[in-house]
Chains A and B, each alone.
Chain A
Amino acid sequence: METTIEIQNLHKSYGEIPAVTDLNISIRKGEVFGLLGANGAGKSTAIECILGTKTADSGQVTILGMNPREKRKKLFERVGVQFQEANYQDKITVEELCQETQSLYKMASDYQGLLKQFGLEDKLKSAVNELSGGQKQRLFIVLALIPNPEVVFLDELTTGLDTKARREVWKCLSQLKEKGLTVFLTSHFMDEVETLCDRIVILKRGKTIFNGTVQEAISASPFEKLEDAYLWYTDEEVNDDESI
């Protein structure tokens, strides 16, 4: 199976502080990959270095066989992205934001069909900042799907959502997975990762402390749930430090 995303030896520091250290990830087509870690572990920095919005100190990134910084115009016709923070204009309506996003791509999907699929078809004329948290997040998934992408990057999509909204977003992502999309998501919710992800990397202070499938992570630990295994992995590293 072909490799859709390849990251090798990625390093990024902010001055003296290392944010990402020697990150190596290989993601195959149709996989859902999860990058996990606590706040400040380096997830957002990693995703930004991968996408090229921040310059890594060193390392190689290839998405669909292309370097995101060198082949930006060509690559992002096939890649959809949703960043963690909201990034839309004040007072813009749902329809206008979709139209503006759609116009940026050569082979875009019909946004009205996508809005209907995610239950937002009656919100066309509403201002984006008047939508509820769950509706906004669903809209952001729609925006990431408008390019009809082969790969989608989602940065902490369910942070701040209530339980019902999170389940709705998970349902949407499962549908995407069935269509064969490759998904790269970051999260610090283990239940979400357990439900959605095929393979994961756990980051702690920028370092990779686990790289493998969800099942491998659980089997290698004395626990049966990913959340407990995750805490065990991150605690284990703390214990190592203390034994020096």
Chain B
Amino acid sequence: MMKAFKTMLKIELKLSLRGMDMFIFSICLPVVMIIILGIIYGNKPAYEGASYTFLEQSFGAISTIAICAGGVMGLPLLISDYRHKKILKRLQVTPVSQSLILAVHLVIYGLYAVISLIFVWGIATLFFNYQICLAIFW
């Protein structure tokens, strides 16, 4: 099972990058957004007299877009496409379950979300002096 998971993960990841559309939507899109916002707003405060910048305020929104581009747009589109191509049906006549390929894609889209987050945070911090208040575990 692990062998099947690892092989499938490697191949599906290659296919996803070969397809380029998820790379563009999940990674390039949020990066371009943060660059544009950074250029326009730079260090300006969110509103007159605010203690945080517009960019800091927008970080959550941009991260959400990054995650949703993958999880809410990309992943359902992929599942529906695989269903249409009868790929899921093919798995029904093998010893592995259809949920294996779904698990593989959850990992891939999770990876896209994390990488995208790192890029967005990195660009904001390095180029636009963004100071994140990190409170991951309350």
- Tell me the A residues contacting B by CB distance below 8 Å: 51-53, 72-74, 76-77, 79, 81, 83, 85-92, 96, 99-106, 147, 153
- Tell me the B residues contacting A by CB distance below 8 Å: 3-4, 6-8, 11-12, 14-15, 18-19, 82, 85-87, 89-96
- Residues of A near B6 (CB, < 8 A) are 103
Please, could you name 18 A-B residue pairs with CB atoms under 8 Å apart, sorted by A?
A51-B92, A51-B93, A52-B92, A72-B95, A73-B95, A81-B90, A81-B93, A83-B86, A88-B87, A89-B12, A89-B15, A90-B15, A92-B15, A100-B7, A103-B6, A105-B94, A105-B95, A153-B93
Contact (Cβ within 8 A) B85 A53: no
CA distance A89 to B18 in the complex (A): 12
CA distance A85 to B12 in the complex (A): 21
Least CB distance from B94 to A in Å reads 5
- Residues of B near A105 (CB, < 8 A) are 94-95
Of all chain B residues, the one with the shortest Cβ separation from A84 is B86
Contact (Cβ within 8 A) B89 A100: no
Least CB distance from B95 to A in Å reads 5
Contact (Cβ within 8 A) A85 B86: yes
CA distance A106 to B91 in the complex (A): 15
Contact (Cβ within 8 A) A90 B7: no
- Residues of B near A77 (CB, < 8 A) are 95
Of all chain A residues, the one with the shortest Cβ separation from B96 is A104
Least CB distance from A139 to B in Å reads 13
CA distance A90 to B17 in the complex (A): 12
Contact (Cβ within 8 A) B8 A103: yes
Contact (Cβ within 8 A) A91 B94: no
Least CB distance from B121 to A in Å reads 31
CA distance A87 to B18 in the complex (A): 18
Listed residue (B4, B7, B85, B90) with the most chain A CB atoms within 10 angstroms of its CB: B90
User: 16 new A-B pairs (CB below 8 Å) besides A72-B92, A99-B7?
Assistant: A73-B95, A73-B96, A74-B95, A77-B95, A79-B93, A81-B90, A86-B86, A87-B87, A89-B12, A90-B15, A91-B19, A92-B15, A104-B4, A104-B95, A105-B94, A147-B94
Contact (Cβ within 8 A) A87 B86: yes
Contact (Cβ within 8 A) B89 A87: yes
Of all chain A residues, the one with the shortest Cβ separation from B18 is A91
CA distance A53 to B107 in the complex (A): 27
Out of B11, B82, B92, B93, name the residue touching A100 (CB < 8 Å). B11
- Residues of B near A147 (CB, < 8 A) are 94
Out of B8, B85, B94, B96, name the residue touching A88 (CB < 8 Å). B85
Least CB distance from B21 to A in Å reads 11
CA distance A76 to B18 in the complex (A): 31
Out of B14, B18, B89, name the residue touching A53 (CB < 8 Å). B89
Least CB distance from B44 to A in Å reads 44
